[in-house]
Amino acid sequence: MTTPLARKARIFRDLHHAGRPFIMPNAWDAASARMLASCGFAAIATTSAGINFAHGLPDGPAAAPRDLTLARHGAIVAAVDLPVSGDLENGYGDSPQAVADCISRAIDLGFVGAGIEDFTGDAKRPHYDVGLAAERIAAARQAADASGLAFTLTARAECFLYGHETPLEEAVARLARYRQAGADCLYAPGTTDPEHLRRLVGETGGPLNVVVGLGGPVDLEGLARLGVARISTGGSLFRAIYGKIAEIGGEMAENGMFSYAESAMSGRDLLRRLLL
């Protein structure tokens, strides 16, 4: 008998092959997850940056203990009845076994997909050796397959974000290697240049995720023409919301103005969306 989690996993996997990009916004807590679910998205993801920022912490795998961090991600899964993919940074460990354990724990929490980065968390040596990075993806794939779910594994090449001398060439080479190791979706955050995306789609062998808020503006139709499969928001939605809080707070503190109240959502509408 097919379980609800298996159905969600299959739905999520199939979205990547629908022939048109789907938008997968990133939530940072139960309330943001439910608000996004109320907007009609087919799937959502977590954002490690947003979760850490919401708790007054910097982004990065060392910001909080693994089990605590995963519990915060898991609260998002529990809050909605949508497929949820986890932004699990580097898998909260360097070894392939640590990554496999992280994926297994994520599946136990109800995730149907997850992303694993090749950023070490150490700015002095930011990228795992590509051989080790591929082994980490292979271990994640094995752990995911052991669950029996059509789990969607996303592999990330962080070359544009952490100072590689030839980020495009390195990202193409790394993502192609990760695809061979078992990744279902590929992701090189930090660029939205059409020529970069064209090469990433054409030369890596797998569906490509593009993130909004890093590397310049994007639009759905343009990304569709390039063959992009998925669009995420990463931490940019969190930053946009908190940017608005800063703007409103400044208006109140500096000018004694409260114009935000005119456009505030009513308590009734808020609860209607949050109490799904």
Q: What is the pLDDT of residues 224-254, one digit of tens each?
A: 999 999 999 999 999 999 999 999 999 999 9
- pLDDT recorded at residue 215: 86
Contact, 75 vs 30, CB < 8 A? yes
CA–CA separation, 68 and 164 (whole Å): 31
**Beta-bridge partner residues of 232:** 24, 211
Segment 141-160 shows an average pLDDT of 98
Q: What is the pLDDT of residues 86-137, one digit of tens each?
A: 999 999 999 999 999 999 999 999 999 999 999 998 988 999 999 999 999 9
End-to-end CA distance of the chain: 27
DSSP letter string over 117-148?
Answer: E-B-S-TTS-B--HHHHHHHHHHHHHHHHHTT
- pLDDT recorded at residue 243: 97
Q: Which domains does the chain have, with CATH numbers?
A: 4-235 (3.20.20.60)
- pLDDT recorded at residue 182: 98
Segment 192-196 shows an average pLDDT of 96
Segment 204-232 shows an average pLDDT of 95
Contact, 28 vs 53, CB < 8 A? yes
In the chain, the amino acid numbered 251 is: E
Instruction: At 275, list the tokens.
Output: 């109490």
Is 1 a residue whose pLDDT tops 70?
no
- pLDDT recorded at residue 60: 92
In the chain, the amino acid numbered 151 is: F
- Give residue 276's pLDDT band: very low, low, confident or very high (50, 70, 90): confident
- Give residue 163's pLDDT band: very low, low, confident or very high (50, 70, 90): confident
- Give residue 216's pLDDT band: very low, low, confident or very high (50, 70, 90): confident
- Give residue 43's pLDDT band: very low, low, confident or very high (50, 70, 90): very high
CA–CA separation, 23 and 28 (whole Å): 16
**What dihedral do alpha carbons 48, 138, 96, 51 form, nearest 10°?**
10
CA–CA separation, 72 and 65 (whole Å): 11
Q: Which of 128, 85, 127 is nearest to 103 (CA)?
A: 85
3-state DSSP: the chain helix, strand, coil percent, rounded to 5? Answer: 50, 10, 40
Is 193 a residue whose pLDDT tops 80?
yes
Average pLDDT along the chain: 96
- pLDDT recorded at residue 123: 86
Phi, psi torsion values for 252, nearest 5 degrees? -70, -50
Q: What is the pLDDT of residues 66-90, one digit of tens each?
A: 999 999 999 999 999 999 999 999 9
Segment 211-229 shows an average pLDDT of 94
Q: What is the pLDDT of residues 164-176, one digit of tens each?
A: 889 999 999 999 9
